Structure 1
Amino acid sequence: MADSLPPCPDCSSEHTYEMGALLVCPMCGHEWAPQESAATPDDGPVQRVVKDAVGNVLSDGDTVVVTTSIKVKGSPQGIKAGTKVRGIRLIDPVNGHDIDCRVEGFGAMLLKSSLVKKA
């Protein structure tokens, strides 16, 4: 192949291939955009910035307040606006949810950063 594709950032496999606008690793199943692989390892890890509903930067361990009522599947009542959530953990987005936390009365769940604000 004239222009080789970059190796997989997860497992370093050299067997990557293009699928539409994404690069795919058949060994581990990881998919990523070609722009992500443009960063060289010498640049260091790229930090993802997560912002709340009003633009404040969030970090692990922060306390946030839910800004709008959230319906919870399988629960007769949802999470009310104004509910405080302590000790959040930022994760890679899963279906748009990028906060892993424990909500009092509901247990562990994932939240979207666009529905909370930093307390």
Structure 2
Amino acid sequence: MPTAPACPQCTLENTYADGANFVCADCGFEWPMAGEGGEDAGVTVRDSNGNALANGDTVVVIKDLKVKGSSIPLKQGTVIRNIRLVEDDAEHIEGNSDKIKGLVLKTIYLRKA
């Protein structure tokens, strides 16, 4: 059982563990137990070379890809700007190319630009 730290919002020490969160009994603030990493503790999205990806990054397609619902394929070297990470999924990102909007791509076909 982890020892409950002081509340980061009101700094009082009347806190307790509730599931995967700590809860302050005085102000009602809740925060995750895995808070040392800052971001979501389990999912790290990586490109084909092993580089970590984050929201807003730019990636490049490393292989020609057929796009469902479109007659235009994504060619090798196509740049995808301002990507969005899919929540709780380390294998997919969302983004837009210049010609095709609303893409969901597998990270194994991408490299960080």
TM-score by length of 1: 0.59
**Is 2:76 the partner of 1:81?**
yes
Tell me if 1:43 matches 2:37: no
Between the two proteins, the alignment pairs up a number of residues equal to: 80
Q: 1:69 maps to which residue?
A: 64
Do 1:97 and 1:110's aligned partners in 2 also have CA atoms closer than 8 Å? no
Structure 1 distance, partners of 2:74, 2:107, is 15
* Structure 2 gaps, min length 5: 1-18, 22-32
User: Could you give the per-residue CA deviations for residues 10-68 of structure 1, whole angstroms, max 9, x where no partner exists?
Assistant: xxxxxxxxxxxxxxxxxxxxxxxxxxxxx842223424111100111111111000000
Whole-angstrom distance in 1 between the partners of 2:61 and 2:77: 5
Give the aligned partner of residue 100 of structure 1.
94
Q: Do the aligned residues in 1 keep the contact of 2:57 with 2:82 (CA within 8 Å)?
A: yes
Gaps of 5+ in 1: 1-38
Rg larger for: 2
- Of all paired residues, the percent bearing the same amino acid is 36
| TM-score (normalizing by structure 2) | 0.62
Distance apart, 1:97 and its partner CA: 5.2
